A and B are shown apart, each in its own frame.
Chain A
Amino acid sequence: MNNNFIVFLEQTDGKITKSSYEVLGAALDLSYKLNCSVEAIVIGKNFVFDESLRLKNLLKITHCKTSNKYLAPSEYANIISGHYSDLVNKDIFFANSSLGKDIAASLAARLDTGIITDCIELSIEEDSIIAVRPIFSGKILDKLKLKGESRIFNLRANNFSPPNKFGDKTEIIIKIIDSFISDFQLLEIIKASGKVDISEAEIIVSGGRGLKDTSNFSLIEELSKILNGAVGASRAVVDAGWRPHYEQIGQTGKTVSPNVYIAVGISGAIQHLAGMNSSKYIVAINKDADAPIFKIADYGIVGDALEILPKLIAELKSLKLKGI
């Protein structure tokens, strides 16, 4: 059992993020095939352990408890490389989140290790890990492997299954990290309005210029709330100032792969598709039957969004009342 894996578990308010739980699932899956073991590391003030983290092949979870309120990515990387003395022959897995990429990059530089970001598939061929990642705005898939003694991977959200083999051997270790002087200072956190983080969301309801006016986005918000999803937007409406940039999906916005992507009043320009064409199911509502979005939609409705959305919302509400 050599070639051990390390998984960085990202947390918010002490809870492991959905995408890093998926990363853990993917690393464990590979570990069953390669017969190696997995360790996980969590960094932060709080971490709430729960039984869903007792998993087959997961030897231990180290919680590095810090007293600094804010950590910069390089400070996370310091803690990780300070904790493991033998990182040079390990494979390290991260979520493809902003923080995950920043830390992974910092470690790649320190360890002189190759890194593959935005993996959507991992497999084993001849005892090596093979990754697939989209390039050229998702037009091409690049299948590749990393040479060298160790490797770093960042895994895209919603592309890997969470762990499913539970075990009872997982050890939990708490390590106290002394507070240190930082070059960084957190001044403010500006939260998004919705509850669901768009890059992890299972369902995204996205609106475009077809909504006609910023006020009509209340319909998009309401639909996403009923479906417990997040709100997305096209660049046209972000540029118009109707929606904040962090909601923009596409080449110059976020890349998402939710279970369902509902595009309302969005034409489906190639730059928009670049951010969402790997969604599992795509639904389109557009009054123009020739809109390119219909070419990739699994279900489409041709019609006026401002008429369809209120009716759809009312139907879904009555279904909820009936408890379906």
Chain B
Amino acid sequence: MKIAVCISQVPDTESNITISTDSKNLDLDELDYIINPYDEYALEEALKTKEIFNGEVIVISAGADKNKDALKKALAIGANKAVHLKTNESFDSLNLAKLLYEEIKTHQPVLVFFGKQSADYSNSVTGQITAQLLNYNLLSNVSNLEISENRIIAEREIDGWKEKVSTTFPAVITAEKGLNTPRYPSLKGIMTAKKKPFIEKVIENTLNCTERIELKRPKNKSAGKVAVNSDEGINGLISFLQNEVKIL
């Protein structure tokens, strides 16, 4: 079974991100980067599936040189092959999906895993767009997966509930938290990763559908009233809900 996993490298959530003086760019150097948390679930599920059905797991990441680290880690964890689509440009979700689609289709995988959402741009649609470009069945926000020879059964987390659906191959799955517990790279994994195929493709002139006008910070919420006496606080809260929020 051939499986592809798309992963991205994102700044650690604790990072302080600064906006450039022209308000059009972000200062993203010098930050600590991690594999996007949801992509760890995606990778783990791909590896688990490979262990049952045999085959290979190909990890793909598009972006600057920092993305190499995510791919190397994925190889150390157990992926068989990595493809780095190298570019310094950033792209909107449609053009990112097109780029990933061009690469994925050359491998003809029966399953493609994505994270449900990236921690940086959080478009939450890259997997879905790619599914349509590939013309694969889509299962988004999957928190539980059962795969058999010819069917996939998935639990999907919808807005306030869950549904259990089944579909056929080939399919794109976007991973939700709870799907599994990602493993760590072992020492042996780190050693063998160096011998695994690592393909780099330089991408030029990516198109972009969006034009950035400005980056800004959200209005800073200033701290409001804090009551230290419980009884006063309860009365204060009730009048706050009545007079300011106006919900009572």
Contact = CB atoms under 8 A, between A and B. Distances in A.
Contacts of B120: 135-136
Contact of A197 (B11, B160, B209): B160
A274 to B, nearest CB: 7
A317 B196 CA distance: 65
A213 interface: no
A145 B211 contact: yes
B248 interface: yes
Interface in B190-248: 208-218, 221, 223-231, 233-238, 240-242, 244-245, 247-248
A308 B238 CA distance: 12
In terms of DSSP, what is the predominant structure of the interface of chain B?
mixed
A4 to B, nearest CB: 20
A79 interface: no
Interface stretch (A47-55, A66-74, A84-92, A161-169): A66-74
A320 B140 CA distance: 42
A300 B230 CA distance: 10
A321 interface: no
B149 interface: no
A235 to B, nearest CB: 9
B218 A134 contact: yes
Given A187-B165, A274-B13, A304 B138 contact: no
A146 B212 CA distance: 9
A112 B37 CA distance: 29
B228 A297 contact: no
B217 A294 contact: no
Nearest to B242: A324
A59 interface: no
B38 interface: yes
B158 interface: yes
Contacts of A252: 37-38, 177
A312 B93 contact: no
Nearest to B151: A185
B55 interface: no
Contact of B160 (A144, A198, A315): A198
B153 interface: yes
Contacts of A199: 159-160
Interface in B164-210: 164-168, 176-178, 208-210
Contacts of A311: 230-231, 234
Given A101-B128, A301-B234, A141 B216 contact: yes
A110 interface: yes
Nearest to A284: B226
Contact of A301 (B125, B159, B227): B227
A140 B219 CA distance: 10
Contact of A187 (B153, B225, B237): B153
A114 B122 contact: no
Interface size classification for chain B: 35 or more
B224 A297 contact: yes
B87 interface: no
Contacts of B178: 245
Given A146-B210, A308-B234, A294 B19 contact: no
A157 to B, nearest CB: 9
A282 interface: yes
A324 B225 CA distance: 24
B227 A101 contact: no
B26 A140 contact: yes
A277 B221 contact: yes
Contact of B227 (A197, A270, A274, A302): A302
A33 interface: no
Contact of A302 (B121, B208, B233, B242): B233
Give 10 closest A-B pairs by Cβ, nearest first. A114-B209, A301-B233, A105-B128, A109-B132, A197-B160, A300-B226, A298-B224, A190-B162, A303-B230, A105-B125
Given A299-B227, A300-B223, A300-B227, 11 more contacts: A74-B131, A99-B158, A183-B168, A184-B166, A246-B157, A251-B13, A278-B218, A283-B237, A300-B224, A301-B233, A301-B237
Interface of A: 70, 72-74, 77, 97-99, 101-102, 104-106, 108-110, 112-118, 125, 130, 134-148, 183-192, 194, 196-200, 202-203, 227, 230, 245-246, 248, 251-253, 259-260, 270-271, 274, 277-278, 280-283, 289, 294-304, 307-308, 311-312, 315-316, 319, 324
